Amino acid sequence: MRKEYDFSKGERGKFYRPDVKLNLPIYLDDEVITFIENIANKKDVDLSFVANQLLRSNMQLAEAIK
């Protein structure tokens, strides 16, 4: 790396897009992935679908508790 960089010709906000949605990766423990994979394989559905359904059911439980 250089000691200094010249940003005098830089343009602030050139690549900023306020409407962009970021999909951040989520890292699960091995046992959790195995659990979700088993359910997905039995139901013949996508892994993401099962994970979202499990999280949605937890969200509903949390709302019911409030």
64/66 Cα distance (integer angstroms): 6
39/32 Cα distance (integer angstroms): 11
Phi, psi of 46 (to 5 degrees): -75, 150
Give the pLDDT of residue 3. 95
Sequential DSSP letters for the chain: --S----TT--TTTT--TT----------HHHHHHHHHHHHHHT--HHHHHHHHHHHHHHHHHHH-
Q: 66 pLDDT exceeds 90?
A: no
Share of the chain above pLDDT 90, in %: 94
Please state the pTM of the whole predicted model: 0.65
